[in-house]
Structure formats: structure tokens, C-alpha cells
């Protein structure tokens, strides 16, 4: 289901499993990583602005969309997701690349920059605070707004069974819950792609395992790396009307994790790449073209 105009769809057959991706453009490579509960279709209005200057690679994360659905919680850790992306880019001949991530894709991107620093030309993180901070210093407001972290992390098959009764109802509520969006704010073709993905019970299970892994696996990986900083150029973008901005000084949460970074607010809530794609693309292009990579 191709929703990125001017891009071609492919599948990389990696040792860990298949990764579906879309590709277009020429120039320095940029890897775009989507978040929950979306697929690579979320970049449909951002990626075309990047392809005149960059080779743009937009994959589905493992467990999501058309990519492989591994078994087990640990297999859905950000470390495992990041390893897929390093392998994908290496298979395409890119040993170094820019990494851009939103939501779960941003958490994967941060882990990738920690685990494979020599591969990362620059790092862009969209609308997240560090995973360890969110879980270790959980506030009442974040627990309320981001309740899904703890619902989805409940033992199987409890969340899968409840979601399975009406996947569209549940996941559309997720799309609308973090920034007071409406369905009209999302491109119809992108929505079709998301619905096609989340109506698959196997995908629902692996997405739940993503959140189980955040608590059971990723938190411990991040605890071990609390003293480490990412040293490549970095950009923090966040929705001006989203729950992260309402609760945190988003830029400040990264001060002890990134060496060189700048931050900017984008109009909209959590899903600002969907709602403000031109502003998002402009901020990305300005940053990426200004790096010394």
C-alpha cells in the first residue's frame, strides 16, 4: 500500500527478518522512523520535501506495517528495532546516515545512536522525552495522558483481546488523544494504511510487546547508559499543543543525553508531522542541510 508519492516500495530480506521500506531521492541518506500506532505512511507529506536533497528511506519498524512480526517481548525492544535499521541501511550501501524518528521511531533512533554511534550523521527526535525519565519519574499527568503505555504492557492476551473487539475504535482514539486532533487532520490514504495494519491481530500483539519491552527491557538498557551522551548533531522537535510540551520542558530533558542539539516547537499536538507537514519538513531540511556531515 504505497502512500508516499514518488517513492518505490521494497522489502529487505535481513537475517533478523523482512523490513518493508519506501525509497526515493538522491544525496545523503536519511532514515525516517515512524511511531505508534502508525506505519511508514505517516511520512507521506514530509518525505517528498526531503527527496530533492536526500536519499530518503522510510521503513516499517519490526512488528508494524508490512515488516516482520517477531515472537517474544525482548524481540520488540528498541535495541532490536535499531539493529534492524542499521542492517537495512548497510544492505543499501549506507554505512552512515541521518536518523529521524517520531514517537516509538524516535526512541528507536535514540537507541540506534547509542548502540551504533559511528553510523549516525545526525539525530532528530520528535515529540518524546527520554524513555528512562518518563518511566522513572512518572507524573500523574503523564500517567493519565499516556495510560496506553501501561495498558498495552499488561500480560497477553488481555489488551489484545480488548483491542480485538474494535481495533479501529481503540487506535483511532490513540490518534485523537494526544493533541485534540480529529480524523480530518489525517490523510485518508494514510488512515487506510494504518487501519489495514492494526486490523491484523498479529500486529496488535507485536505492538503490545513493544510496550511490554519498554518496561521489561528498554528501561534497563537505558539505566545502563545513563552516563552516556550522543555526540552527533541533534534536533528535538515537539508539538506545541501536545502532552509532552504541556508537562515537560522537552528541550531540557535532553540536556544530559545529547552533546550538541537544538530544539523547536511545531504547531499541533503529538502527530504534528501529519498536521503540520510543511513546518516539519522545513525544520528538518534546515537542520539536515546545516549539519557538517
Q: How far is CA 180 from CA 43, 70, 115, 216, 271, in A?
A: 20, 33, 35, 30, 10
148 counts as catalytic: no
C-alpha cell at position 220: 534497563
Residue 110 bears catalytic tag: no
| Cβ–Cβ < 8 Å for 96, 121 | yes
120-126 β-sheet, strand order: 8-13, 18-25, 55-59, 29-33, 97-102, 120-126, 230-239, 258-266
Long-range contacts of 6-14 (CB under 8 A, 24+ apart): 6/48, 6/51, 7/47, 7/51, 7/56, 7/58, 11/66, 12/59, 12/87, 12/88, 12/91, 12/92, 14/84, 14/87, 14/88, 14/91
The residue from 103, 127, 145, 274 that is catalytic is 103
Catalytic residue positions? 103, 270
Amino acid at each position: 500500500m504505497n502512500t508516499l508519492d514518488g517513492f518505490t516500495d521494497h522489502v529487505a530480506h535481513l537475517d533478523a527478518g523482512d523490513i518493508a521500506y519506501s525509497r526515493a531521492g538522491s544525496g545523503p541518506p536519511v532514515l525516517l522512523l515512524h511511531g505508534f500506532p502508525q506505519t511508514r505512511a505517516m511520512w507521506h507529506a514530509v518525505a517528498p520535501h526531503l527527496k530533492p536533497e536526500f536519499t530518503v528511506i522510510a521503513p516499517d519498524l519490526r512488528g508494524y506495517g508490512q515488516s516482520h512480526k517477531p515472537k517474544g517481548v525482548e524481540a520488540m525492544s528498541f535495541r532490536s528495532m535499531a539493529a534492524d535499521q542499521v542492517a537495512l541501511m548497510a544492505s543499501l550501501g549506507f554505512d552512515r546516515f541521518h536518523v529521524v524518528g517520531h514517537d516509538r521511531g524516535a526512541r528507536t533512533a535514540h537507541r540506534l545512536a547509542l548502540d551504533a554511534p559511528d553510523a549516525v550523521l545526525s539525530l532528530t527526535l520528535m515529540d518524546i522525552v527520554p524513555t528512562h525519565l518518563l518511566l522513572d519519574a512518572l507524573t500523574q499527568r503523564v500517567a493519565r495522558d499516556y495510560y496506553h503505555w501501561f495498558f498495552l504492557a499488561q500480560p497477553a492476551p488481555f489488551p489484545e483481546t480488548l483491542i480485538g473487539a474494535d481495533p479501529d475504535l481503540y487506535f483511532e482514539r490513540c490518534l485523537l488523544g494526544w493533541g485534540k486532533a480529529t480524523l480530518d487532520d489525517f490523510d485518508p490514504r494514510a488512515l487506510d494504511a494504518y487501519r489495514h495494519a492494526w486490523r491484523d491481530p498479529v500486529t496488535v500483539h507485536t505492538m503490545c510487546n513493544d510496550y511490554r519491552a519498554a518496561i521489561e527491557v528498554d528501561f534497563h538498557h537505558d539505566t545502563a547508559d545513563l552516563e552516556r551522551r550522543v555526540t552527533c548533531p541533534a534536533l528535538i522537535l515537539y508539538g506545541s499543543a501536545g502532552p509532552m510540551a504541556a508537562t515537560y520542558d522537552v528541550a531540557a530533558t535532553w540536556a544530559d543525553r545529547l552533546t550538541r542539539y537544538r530544539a523547536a516547537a511545531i504547531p499541533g499536538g503529538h502527530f504534528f508531522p501529519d498536521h503540520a507537514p510543511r513546518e516539519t519538513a522545513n525544520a528538518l531540511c534546515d537542520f539536515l542541510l546545516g549539519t557538517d556531515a
